[in-house]
């Protein structure tokens, strides 16, 4: 049987139309703020500010005096004399960071189903989808941790095998044909690992999560349903990934123009947690609709956007943390 030939332009147009209908027909600022809260939860730690190092090199170069070198030596000696204390502090900080990451990753996983449910039903609920999709959210959380652990493990292996060589090459500036080739190979390996992880993460976000939502199943069950389709239509999903990259570049240009057109006020507002999610809501809703709209072209059994079964009318949720007190199972 001939496999369906999905149309990227049709999905793009459909996702854009869904975004307009949800956010602008009619325009409701209260809906934006509640839906923006869902979007903010769904993308915790996935976007935001980065640590700028633009002035770091300059300050290091201008401060490389004898006094600075002496201070560095003194600090190094202190670390050597207080190794136990340094290890204890570093371990404590690492534990706190890991615990924070795990909690935020769990909230983000639950928030993804909250956002998807609101998009599918064109509504702005908080408490109801948070509670209803507990099983699916917790399953996604476990899959997210697994993928992150595999990615970090692969990077640790690469670093352990090549870290000392890279350090010595850069330190000694021993750039020969062999060392350059080796550095290029290491870079290519890191790039491949990153691209494979990004592709799998894209599949999970854009296709597996909608199947989990549609069939009310775990991540493992959704992967079992999706992978045969992915194998049969690999080229179409790679094409989708490339188109997603192009759309991301276009979106980045629009963000740049928005920030510059507002004398950088837009950049400041978008950097504020939650407020930035509300401002970027059109893009978030568009991309949330894009994957399911593409997936539905492979058959009704993959359609997560047309399952809006009748549900009891619930009170309009407010942007509170009510109902967010449950922990991962």
Residue 26, preceding bond cis, omega within 30 degrees?
yes
* Tens-digit pLDDT profile for residues 265-321: 888 888 888 998 999 999 999 999 999 999 999 999 999 988 654 333 333 333 333
Q: 146: part of which helix (H) or strand (E)?
A: helix 134-172
| pLDDT confidence tier of residue 48, bands split at 50, 70 and 90 | very low
In sequence order, which residues have a C-beta less than 8 Å from that of residue 108 and are 6 or more positions away? 41, 42, 43, 44, 45, 46, 144
Radius of gyration of the chain (CA): 24
pLDDT at 3: 62
- Segment 219-239 shows an average pLDDT of 96
pLDDT at 326: 39
Q: Considering the entire predicted model, what is its pTM?
A: 0.79
Q: 144: part of which helix (H) or strand (E)?
A: helix 134-172
Query: Among 318, 283, 327, 319, which Cα is nearest to 119's?
Result: 283
Query: Among 141, 186, 203, which Cα is nearest to 328's?
Result: 141
- Segment 119-138 shows an average pLDDT of 93
Q: C-alpha 205: how far from its chain's center? A: 9
In sequence order, which residues have a C-beta less than 8 Å from that of residue 266 and are 6 or more positions away? 255, 258, 259, 279
How is the chain split into domains, by residue range?
A: 8-45+73-302
**Would you tell me how many other CB atoms lie within 10 Å of the CB of residue 307?**
14
Residue 113 has which token pair? Answer: 């189903």
pLDDT at 327: 35
Contact 193, 154 (CB under 8 A): yes
For tokens 């992150």, what's the residue? 148
Q: What is the DSSP string of 189-249?
A: HHHHHHHHHHHHHHHIIIIIHHHHHHHT--HHHHHHHHHHHHHHTHHHHHHHHHHHHHHHH
Residue 43 has which token pair? Answer: 């993308």
- Segment 206-220 shows an average pLDDT of 95
Query: Among 198, 223, 218, 214, which Cα is nearest to 296's?
Result: 214
């Amino acid at each position: 049987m001939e496999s369906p030939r999905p149309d990227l332009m049709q999905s793009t147009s459909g996702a854009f139309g869904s975004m307009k209908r949800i956010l602008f027909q009619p325009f409701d600022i209260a809906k934006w703020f509640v839906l923006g809260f869902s979007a903010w939860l769904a993308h915790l730690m996935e976007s935001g500010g980065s640590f700028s190092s633009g002035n770091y090199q300059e300050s290091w170069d201008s401060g490389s005096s004898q006094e600075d070198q002496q201070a560095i030596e003194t600090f190094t000696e202190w670390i050597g004399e207080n190794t136990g204390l340094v290890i204890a502090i570093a371990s404590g900080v690492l534990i706190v960071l890991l615990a924070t990451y795990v909690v935020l990753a769990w909230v983000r996983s639950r928030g993804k189903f909250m956002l998807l449910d609101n998009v599918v039903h064109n509504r702005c609920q908080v408490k109801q989808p948070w509670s209803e999709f507990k099983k699916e959210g917790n399953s996604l959380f476990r899959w997210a941790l697994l993928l992150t652990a595999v990615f970090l493990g692969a990077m640790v292996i690469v670093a352990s095998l090549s870290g000392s060589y890279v350090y010595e090459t850069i330190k000694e500036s021993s750039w020969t044909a062999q060392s350059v080739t080796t550095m290029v190979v290491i870079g290519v390996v890191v790039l491949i690992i990153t691209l494979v992880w990004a592709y799998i993460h894209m599949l999970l976000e854009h296709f597996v999560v909608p199947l989990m939502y549609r069939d009310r199943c775990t991540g493992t069950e959704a992967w079992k349903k999706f992978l045969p389709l992915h194998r049969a239509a690999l080229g179409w999903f790679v094409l989708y990934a490339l188109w997603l990259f192009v759309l991301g570049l276009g979106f980045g240009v629009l963000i740049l123009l928005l920030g510059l057109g507002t004398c950088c006020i837009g950049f400041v507002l978008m950097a504020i947690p939650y407020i930035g999610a509300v401002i970027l809501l059109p893009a978030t809703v568009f991309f949330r609709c894009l994957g399911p709209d593409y997936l539905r072209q492979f058959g009704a059994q993959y359609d997560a956007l047309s399952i809006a079964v009748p549900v009891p009318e619930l009170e309009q949720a407010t942007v509170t943390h009510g109902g967010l007190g449950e922990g991962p199972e």
